[in-house]
Amino acid sequence: MEPVFLWLIAASMAFFTAWLLKRGSVMATVNQATIILFALSSMAIMFLSAVIYLYNPVFITLILLIILNMVTMSVFLVPFALTTFFGDRRLEDIRRVGSFRLRSWIVGTAIVFLVTSEIFMGWTFAIADGSLQAVGGVHAAYSAFVSSASSYWFVFTMTAEMALTFVTLRRKFPGKMGWIVGAQPIMMFLSPTAIDSQGWVDFSFIASSAIMVVVFVYATRYLYKDHLLSTATVGYLMCLISAYTLMMAGLIVWFADQDAIVFVLSILFQMTVYFYVVLEEKRLGSHRQH
């Protein structure tokens, strides 16, 4: 398949996902949450189905995948129909009834669907452009997963989604937090594994290491000096520091023996941290800013 066509699809996915994330950041009712989860789950199952079919392109596989997609759609269409006919409810009201925080479960589920769709989209496109072969057993599938999750299809599409989301939700991250959160899309873009070029590897490694150190020091200093930080902000900064520590370890492992699994896990962790603060209702910053 022509790379231009694939990039058009990837760009469309990036814009649509960024729009969904913006809507998800302000979701307040069961109906709104259901629509967000329905859209994200549909993308995840669609690309998962594409990879499965490419590895086993027979009629029975196609039928089973169609059934899987229909079941997934039904799971979210049922609550949508119920809220349409019997009235919508606010997530905050449901949280008060139960002993758990419903929004956190919804946000976690949305992130799982989002990460899944991005991984399998990169996997599908890598097969489509010929950089991966849909053959082999478990070990080959593992290698394909690592390669696709560290490829430019995954990295650059995710960078676009993170950047677009940050631009549209910039006011959610006031003051110093805007600089820290804004550095995450840049760090995603500067992934040495994305392009098979020694020049890119050298540049991205130096640039990402420099930004990582600056953000690490800045975040640590921020935690130490500002004693009025909200609990959500402290949690975010600690997770981000952990993600960058894992990323640096992943880069070292990748340079040492060309195994990118630790680096892949670090960018998946960084994505999870980023999209959690985007979708969560809490604003980052110190208590005096609220």
* Pair 12, 144 in one domain: yes
Tell me which residue range forms the domain holding 262: 172-290
Q: Has residue 261 been placed in a domain?
A: yes
Contact 91, 30 (CB under 8 A): yes
Distances (CA, A) of 169 to 18, 239, 283, 285: 10, 20, 11, 15
* Pair 8, 50 in one domain: yes
> What is the number of other CB atoms lying within 10 angstroms of the CB of residue 151?
24
Q: Which residue has the tokens 């290698």?
A: 143
* Pair 99, 229 in one domain: no
Last residue of a domain, one of 149, 164, 180: 149
- Name residues of the chain where pLDDT drops below 50: 97, 288-290
Q: Is residue 221 classed exposed, middle or buried when 0-12, 13-18 and 19+ CB atoms within 10 A define those classes?
A: exposed
* Pair 253, 125 in one domain: no
Contact 260, 146 (CB under 8 A): yes
Q: Has residue 160 been placed in a domain?
A: no
Structure tokens, 68: 């899987």
Overall domain count for the chain: 2
* Pair 92, 204 in one domain: no
Give the sign of the dihedral formed by CA 109, CA 115, CA 118, CA 121.
Answer: negative
What type of residue sits at position 154?
A: F
* Pair 100, 230 in one domain: no
* Pair 131, 185 in one domain: no
What does the alpha-carbon distance between residue 198 and residue 200 come to, in Å, rounded to a whole number?
5
State pTM to two decimals.
0.87
DSSP character at residue 283 = P
Q: Has residue 166 been placed in a domain?
A: no
Residue 197: φ, ψ to 5°: -145, 130
Contact 198, 224 (CB under 8 A): no
Q: Has residue 157 been placed in a domain?
A: no
* Pair 215, 246 in one domain: yes
pLDDT tens string 226-242: 666 778 788 888 899 89
Q: Which residue has the tokens 């991005």?
A: 118
Last residue of a domain, one of 114, 149, 184: 149
Q: Has residue 89 been placed in a domain?
A: yes
* Pair 185, 227 in one domain: yes
What was the pLDDT predicted at 76?
A: 80
* Pair 273, 142 in one domain: no
Run of H or E including 41: helix 30-55
CB neighbour list of residue 287: distance below 8 Å, 6 or more residues apart: 228, 229, 230
Structure tokens, 129: 């452009």
What does the alpha-carbon distance between residue 80 and residue 114 come to, in Å, rounded to a whole number?
20
Q: Has residue 163 been placed in a domain?
A: no
* Pair 113, 6 in one domain: yes
